[in-house]
Amino acid sequence: MTNFLMIIQDVLSTPALLIGAMALIGLIAQGKPIEDVIKGTLKTILGFIIIGAGAGILVGALDYFGTLFNFAFGVQGVVPNNEAIVSLALNEYAQATALIMAFGMFANILLARFSAWKYIFLTGHHTLYMAALIAVVLSVGGLEGWQLIVAGSALLGFTMVFFPMLAQKTMLKITGNDSIAFGHFGTIGYVFSAWLGSLFGKGSKSTEEIKFPKRLSFLRDTAVAIALTMFIFFLLVSVIANFREGFDIEMTAGLNWFLFSVIQSLTFAGGVYIVLSGVRLLIAEIVPAFKGISEKIVPNALPALDCPIVFPFAENAVLLGFLVSFIGGLAGLGILVLLGGTLSLPLILPGVIPHFFCGATAGVFGNATGGRKGAILGAFGHGLLITFLPAFLMPVLGTLGFANTTFSDSDFTVVGIVMGNIANVIQGSGLLIVSLVIFLIPIALGLVKSKKA
Amino acid sequence: MVKKIQCVCGVGLGSSFLVEMNVKKVLGKLGLKEIEVDHSAATDVYKGSADLYVCGKDMYNTLANQGPCVVLNNIISVEELEEKLSAYLKEVGVI
């Protein structure tokens, strides 16, 4: 008996096995045939192990980048990338992340059932990333054990209905119907963009009436886009470092600066590629199960879906949004450099993935409320926003705040900054109570609404 | 012959996965469960990686010339998918 208990304990404390066990239970509960159960369980564990392997590769490239950046400019340089930071976070917080993700999805179903915000958040990789962020911030805030899991799941469930609710007004304008919702944790940036669009874009023509060069669409291949931008970043830091006194060729792995930049940018792109493959395997069983269960329990809830669902509604706004958001990111970097001396903030470089996906979505949202003016202003504002927010997130991430990468999309950074700063004041069990109160807000609002009706 | 359908989006995590679930639903309706369906990033598409691709119209330029492609205006519409997918399958003689 004690042996059996020890095995259970080992499964619970070995994250890969814990995640596998959750997949196993989920697959059995759905009544899947035995071969599907075996295949699904193994692939889920495989996904987790692949993420760890990708993390190792990313750390290698980021270490070089961080050292060179610090040597060249004398400050910390950060390339925000969700996959990179999550793969690092999972090294330390995997067990809490897995449990928060599982129970957070139950919390989502509860809120969709009992509150006025009837959304089911189906973007599985973002659920995973948000679970990791919450696990880190609450752990740094002194929560542990069951309290960490309960508080984390409550918060995750809240974010899974709160952000789709926030985006729904503009989603109606974009899609023209009320059958789907939007589930992507960059919502604050998109709503900000839509707000700028409504302020300044009155009467502006839609972006879809301009002719736009289609050749830029090769950047939609993420591995290519990441490799190209990282190449430019590596080139910049290694060239400047080369001219500094005390430069050691070992900083560029004994290679010429150009070749070094080629190798390391592709190494980084390769690391992200591997992590993405791992995440794809990890969520492949979880999302359909979650979808199936939630459809049975809350049939009237709207599915909240990933950001590319809005891309076909405004293709030009997608490319325009990406470019302008990226320019906003560069402008934001310039401002951080100017402020650098006084605030000692890390420098946030424009990561291509957040600017592409979130910038593009911001473009679509801005276009919906303010035409081409709205798309341009909204995406630019979004670019500034996702440059400043990560700089303020870093201090609440504990040791992960010293990594040369961090969370990129606006909702991760806002949730991190808000909870992290609450955790600075209220430590331990108090934080659990705060989380539960936040969880109950939508249910209370639902009760008020139904009383009035 | 259509043995493998690959659903594609930018990073191959979210929307292509939803399209895959919809394709499976449609194939189930048509009684074509033996066709393999997968989802991936644009990076993973090369000539011969699948017999048919499914993507939103914003991704089409990235994929063009890799093989036959069902292009969706609304990537979450099951009706549009069913109409276009069964039209293609009829055209190549699968149904």
Q: What is the pLDDT of residues A356-371, one digit of tens each?
A: 899 999 999 999 999 9
- B14 and A305 in contact by Cβ < 8 A? yes
Q: Which domain holds residue B10?
A: 4-91
What's the mean pLDDT in A111-138? 95
Cα A129 from Cα A238, distance rounded (Å): 31
Residue from the list B13, B43, B56 with its beta carbon closest to the beta carbon of A311: B56
What is the extent of the structural domain holding A380? 63-218+282-452
pLDDT tens per residue across span A153-177: 999 999 999 999 999 999 999 888 7
Q: How many CB atoms lie within 10 A of CB A295?
A: 12
On whether residue A26 sits in a domain, the answer given is no
DSSP annotation of B43 reads: G
Written as six digits, the tokens of A103 are: 């129970």
Closest CA to A106 of A280, A293, A281, A282: A293
Tokens encoding A325 = 């958001």
Indicate if the pLDDT at residue A334 is higher than 80.
yes
- A22 within domain boundaries: no
- With cut-offs at 50, 70 and 90, classify the pLDDT of residue B20: very high
Chain Cα centroid distance, residue A391: 15
Q: Which residue of chain B has the CA closest to A184?
A: B14
Helices (H) and strands (E) in chain B, counts: 3, 4
Residue A1 has pLDDT above 80, yes or no: no
CB contact under 8 A, A280 and B9: no
HSE-up of residue A198 (Cα within 13 Å, Cβ side)? 10
B-side interface with A, Cβ within 8 Å?
A: 9-15, 17-18, 21, 39-43, 56-59, 61-62, 72-76
Sign of CA dihedral A269, A270, A275, A278: positive
Rounded mean pLDDT, A419-441: 93
> Which residue in B11, B17, B75 is closest to A287 by CB distance?
B17
State how many domains chain A has.
Answer: 1
Task: Tell if the CB–CB gap between A222 and B74 is shorter than 8 Å.
Answer: no
Instruction: Compare CB distances from B10 to A125, A222, A291 and report the shortest one's residue.
Output: A222
Bridge partners for B69 per DSSP: B53
Task: Mark yes or no for CB contact B43/A218 under 8 Å.
Answer: no
Q: Is the dihedral of CA A225, A227, A228, A230 positive or negative?
A: positive
- Report which residue type is found at A7: I
Task: Look at chain B and report how many structural domains it folds into.
Answer: 1
- What is the average per-residue pLDDT within A229-256? 92
Contact state of B56 with A308 under an 8 Å Cβ cutoff: yes
**Does residue A25 lie in a domain region?**
no
Cβ-based contacts of A311 with chain B (< 8 Å): 56, 58-59
Tell me which chain B residues have a C-beta less than 8 angstroms from the C-beta of A307: 14-15
Nearest to A310 by CA among A261, A237, A365: A365
Residue of B nearest to A272 (CA): B11
Interface contact A223-B41, CB threshold 8 A: yes
Higher pLDDT, A8 or A191: A191
Look at B18 and A306 and tell me if their CB atoms are within 8 Å.
yes
In this prediction, residue A312 carries a pLDDT of 81
pLDDT of the residue at A341: 64
Confidence of residue A314 (pLDDT cuts 50, 70, 90): confident
Minimal Cα distance from B75: which residue of A? A309
CB distance B14–A318 less than 8 Å? no
pTM of the predicted model as reported, rounded to 2 decimal places: 0.90
CA distance A220 to chain B (A): 6
Tell me the mean pLDDT in the region A279-301: 90
Q: How far apart are CA A266 and CA A194, in angstroms?
A: 35
- Alpha carbons A72 and A75: distance in angstroms, whole number: 8
The pLDDT, as a whole number, for residue B65 is 79
Mean pLDDT to the nearest integer, A335-344: 80
CATH value at residue B38: 3.40.50.2300
pLDDT more than 70, % of chain A: 98
What value of ipTM does the predicted structure carry? 0.83
pLDDT in tens, B5-17: 999 988 888 889 9
Looking at A113-127, A141-155, A216-230, A321-335, which range is the least confident one?
A: A216-230
Q: Please indicate, yes or no, if residue A315 is contained in any of the structural domains.
A: yes
Between A145 and A340, the more confident residue is A145
Residue A76 lies in a domain: yes
Per-residue pLDDT of B40-50, as tens digits, reads 998 899 988 99
In chain B, which residues have their Cβ closer than 8 Å to the Cβ of A217? Answer: 61-62
The answer as to whether A396 is a domain residue is yes
Confidence of residue A222 (pLDDT cuts 50, 70, 90): confident
pLDDT tier at A212 (50, 70, 90 boundaries)? low
In tens, the pLDDT along A166-205 reads 999 999 998 887 888 999 999 999 999 999 999 998 888 8
Q: What is each CA distance from B81 to B21, B24, B62, B63, B88, in whole angstroms?
A: 11, 11, 20, 18, 10
Mean pLDDT of chain A: 91
Whether residue A284 and residue B10 make contact (CB cut-off 8 A), yes or no, is no
> Average pLDDT of chain B?
91
d(CA B4, CA A446): 46
Residue A39, in any domain of the structure:
no
